[in-house]
Amino acid sequence: MHGAPPEIGMRLHDLLKAIRLIKQHRSAAQPAIPTGLLGLLTEIDRLPTGCRSRDLAEHAGLDPSTVSRGVATLVRQGMVAREADPHDGRATILVVTPAGRAALSDALRWHAELITSALDGWSADDIESLQRGIDRFVGDIHRALNIHETTEAAP
């Protein structure tokens, strides 16, 4: 392939704008999780049996200082707790609290309703094609950036 047509870049710009709009509306409709921290809370929940901040930063593709600030906010909000690491008494692991799990469930339900509404009128084939395309694109971006996922998410 010769290179991505410039339209792809514009479509990605449009997609990022749509994501920002979703975040703004979700924050207004579901304020329990602080703005910008739903993804971090989701990552903590997806990692098996809690995780360390540095593992979370690596898995989420974020700077450790960004993760540290986000985790501190989630801890203050009661969404995440730091617990002693059973394998290393000097370290702590991050775990989603029951309040965090309830807020996460509400936020994910809100997202599901929004996406269901947005895809109303799409055929099952169109939806499956979109999902396959996103999966392939994300995988190929990781490949192009030479990023290898080393931490598996819990099933």
For 1-15, 20-34, 116-130, which range has the lowest pLDDT when averaged over its residues? 1-15
* pLDDT value of position 60: 84
pLDDT at residue 76 above 80? yes
CATH of 9-144, one of 1.20.210.10, 1.10.10.10, 3.40.50.300, 3.40.50.10470: 1.10.10.10
pLDDT of 35:
82
pLDDT computed for residue 149 by the predictor: 57
Alpha-carbon distance 58 to 8, whole Å? 27
Using left for φ > 0, alpha for ψ between -120 and 50, and beta otherwise, residue 148 falls in beta
The confidence score (pLDDT) of residue 152 equals: 40
Indicate the pTM of the whole model: 0.77
Of residues 85 and 100, the one with the higher pLDDT is 100
Is residue 17 scored above 50 in pLDDT?
yes
Candidates 58, 92, 46; CA nearest to 72 is: 92
Selection from 18-32, 109-123, 137-151 with the highest mean pLDDT: 109-123
Domain ranges of the chain: 9-144
Give pLDDT, residue 112: 94
Across residues 143-150, what is the average pLDDT? 74
